[in-house]
Structures are given as C-alpha cells and as structure tokens.
Amino acid sequence: MQRCLVKETIKKVGKKVKLDGWVNSIRDHGKITFIDLRDRTGIIQCVGQNLTKLTTESVIEVVGTIQDRPEKLINPNIDTGKVEVQIENLSVISEASELPIPIEGDGYSIDEEVRNNYRYLDLRRPRMTRNIRLRSRVAQLIRNWLIARDFVEIETPILTKTTPEGARDFLVPSRLQPGKFYALPQSPQQYKQLLMVAGFERYFQIARCFRDEDPRRDRAYGEFTQLDLEMSFVTQEDILQLSEQLFTDIVKEVFPEKRISQSPWPRISHKEATEKYGTDKPDLRKDKNDPNELALSWTIDFPLFTKQSKEDFYFGSGSAKWAPSHHMFTSPHPDDIDLLEKDPSKVRGLQHDLVLNGYEVGGGSIRIHDPKIQSEIFELIGFSEKQKKEFSHMLSAFKYGVPPHGGIAPGLDRFIFVALGEPSIREVMAFPASANGQTAVMDAPSNATDKQLKELRLKIDTSKKSL
C-alpha cells in the first residue's frame, strides 16, 4: 500500500489508507485514544482502541479507514477537520524521548543558543516551518520570474581570491599551493561583471555570500543568501523598474495579506534622506503599528566617496583621503565625471539602495566599464601598485570589449525577515550561526588535527600577543 499524505485524506472518505508522520498530540480517554498525526502537508485526527502507549513526536505508521467526523465534532481550525482515520493498525517506527525544548508556541522566549543546539526540533515549530517553506517559495518565484525574462542562472566559484573590498574575508588555506589562500566570496561582484564581458547580458544567481562581520538583528554572522542580478546595456532606471516589478509580484504571490503602501516606490536622494529623516534608509510606513504594511523605497544619488578612516584598513596605503561609499566598481554619475579631479567629495555615484520599513534590504549600482575611470578611482582611494594588481584580471578583461552594465543584490534572508516582521534575521534561516559565530547544531568552528595542519603547512600560535 502506498503512503497517503494528510492533505489527500479529505478526498478518500471510505477508503483504507496508510499514513506516515509524527505524533503531534495524544488524548487518551481510556479505551479510546485520539492521536493527531502530522506530516509535511498537515494534521489529521486518528482514532483507535487499546493502542500501544505513545510519546509525542514519535514517528509512526497508521493504517486505517477515512471516515466523516460527526457534525458536532468537526474541527474548523484544520483543513482535515471534517474527517478522521479509524485506526486498524499502528506501528511505531521511531520512538521519541522527552523533548529538551517545547516546540509548540512561537518559541521567542526560549534562549536562542538552546534553540540553535536543537535546531532540528525548533524547525518543527509551525512558525519556523512556515518561514522556511515561505523562503523556498520566494526563491522559486524569483527563479521562474527571471528565467521567463531571458535571464541565465549561473553559479560562480565559492573558492575564490581575496581582494580588498571592505569587509573581512574568510580565508581557506590551499593544500596544493602551500602558503596561499582562497577566500570565500563576500559577493559574486567581480564574477558577475566578467559574465557581462562574456556576453551573457542577463545573469542571476541565488548566491551564498560570506563576510566576517559582527552579527546584529538584521545581519547574521558569517554567511547569508542574496539574489545576485546583473544586466548589460541598461540604465539605472531599467534596474529600478525591473526590481519594482519583481518584488511587487513576490508580495502579491507569497505575502497576499501584505500591502505595498505606495507605488511607484518613492525615490529619495541620499542628501534628502539624511536631512529629512536622519538616515539613508527611512521607514516610510504610514502606520508603523500595521504589521501588513510594506513601505518600499529607493535611496539614490549617494556620494561616490566617503572620507577614509582608520577602520578602512582594506583601502589605500594610509595616506589616501577617500574610501568608496559603496564599492570601487560603482560608476560616477555622468554629470560629475569632471569633479573626480576637482572635488571628489561632490561626486555622486550611480548607486541604489532598496529600503523596506527602515531596513536596507538590497543594494546595487551601475558599474564602471571604462578602464581609465576605474584606474582613476583606484588612485583616489590610494591603492598601491600591489593592490591594483589584485584586480588585474578585471582591467585585462575590460580591454576586450565590455558593455555598460549594472545590477542589484537584494538579501533574500533580510527581505523575508523584514516582510514577516520577525525579531531577528536568524528566524528565517534554517541553521544560523549564533552571535559568537558557532554554527547551529554542529560544533563549528572546531580544532584541526595535527595531520591536517601539517598537510597545509600551518602552525597555530597560542601565545597571547596582541594582534
């Protein structure tokens, strides 16, 4: 007998079925026991007599006949509330011990470290199951939406080259080339620009990105997922319009209870945003107590440069005055090109940030495609000759015909976290790292063995010398 899913039972009244799933709850009334069986599609009540003693969350198999519930006992709160299973045979596949954490309720009051230790249980929580399934729907919609518009999905390398782009890289030592290191990508920025040189014109990827940055409620430690999107022969206006259409359709399809407060989305210059709202990511909701209001907007006309500080340790040799406000591949506004030499502080960049309810959920720009301008930017941010050589692959590729191009990279985790109104971005990630960088469930990071270190020709310095 083939397995029947819970959702299929409402169409099988009078038929014998086999159901597999978890014991969601047990109500023992002496001779008669009611079991709510749960699978990925829902919950159904199963009724039996003289059953083996069960524990909640055990995995069981039930064979029985679907029958209509008495009208007075219909449960309107579940899709299968009009039917139940009369148990003929019940088998315990895997008995569950007492759970270390409760999985009913929203789970917010449980210590996050404890939840992470038992994440495989925490994910059984209806709220968490909903979040992860909803995230999958968003990714599927994005993929189908873009492919229908002639975008090509292309994976780019995870093991790549460390380059000075602003945040700290995660380094991976090379066994085959001792003393050298790969870096995990902060984003596929350089690869997607090279794909434009390659002539694909429309690229996207649901990309994993890695940055060694401190966590906060809207940023997880270590890794995150973004929609990476790049197009050739486009203006900034093209990118903004396509993004608005995509995310409007996402909201309509996946978040039907939500409403976008204003369309077209407001476009606010960086100068106006900071002067009027005191931030470059203003919360434009009309009613900030309305959980179903989504205020989407654009912040544009950012300064191309910021004043370089001691924290900008990746940029320049220490004597340069400027650091890139976004990244060093952002194109200057065409009206401000002459100001690169005269007054860089007044140069605007063709950068655009996507803002949702006071959070920056995506950013992008029109990129530099002129090698001369790119070299000038490198000079202004004080790149040494050695640092320039780290981007020689880009400058070399640009000698062979590069189209004007640009794109955007909305954060998938961050968008869903804000849209759902969750208290932390980690609530929409299956296995997030904790605030101290420990991976959920796994004991990572962990120590390497002496053999592994020897193969990589590495030694661990355990002294307490300051860095």
Q: CA–CA separation, 254 vs 415, rounded Å?
A: 12
* Among 341, 273, 340, 338, residue whose Cα is nearest residue 302: 273
DSSP 79: T
Share above pLDDT 90 across residues of the chain, in percent, rounded to a whole number: 81
Domain 116-428 indexed as CATH 1.20.1050.10: no
* Pair 294, 419: CB distance under 8 Å: yes
* Pair 9, 17: CB distance under 8 Å: yes
Domain edges within the chain: 6-94, 116-428
* Pair 157, 165: CB distance under 8 Å: no
Lowest-confidence region among 104-113, 281-290, 381-390: 381-390
In this structure, the chain runs to a length of 467
Categorize the per-residue pLDDT at 26 as very low, low, confident or very high, splitting at 50, 70 and 90: very high
pLDDT tens profile 197-217: 999 999 999 999 999 988 888
Q: Is 27 annotated as a binding residue?
A: no
The CATH class, in words, for 6-94 is mainly beta
Q: Is 341 annotated as a binding residue?
A: no
> What confidence score (pLDDT) does residue 383 get?
86
Q: Is 212 annotated as a binding residue?
A: yes
pLDDT tens profile 126-170: 999 999 999 999 999 999 999 999 999 999 999 999 876 667 899
pTM equals 0.93
Q: Is 414 annotated as a binding residue?
A: yes
Q: Is 367 annotated as a binding residue?
A: yes
pLDDT tens profile 343-356: 999 999 999 999 99
N-term to C-term CA, the chain: 65
Distance of CA 81 to CAs 43, 84, 271, 365, 431, Å?
Answer: 9, 8, 56, 52, 33
> What confidence score (pLDDT) does residue 320 get?
66
For the chain, what is the total number of helices (H) and then of strands (E)?
12, 19
Q: Is 360 annotated as a binding residue?
A: yes
Q: Is 285 annotated as a binding residue?
A: no
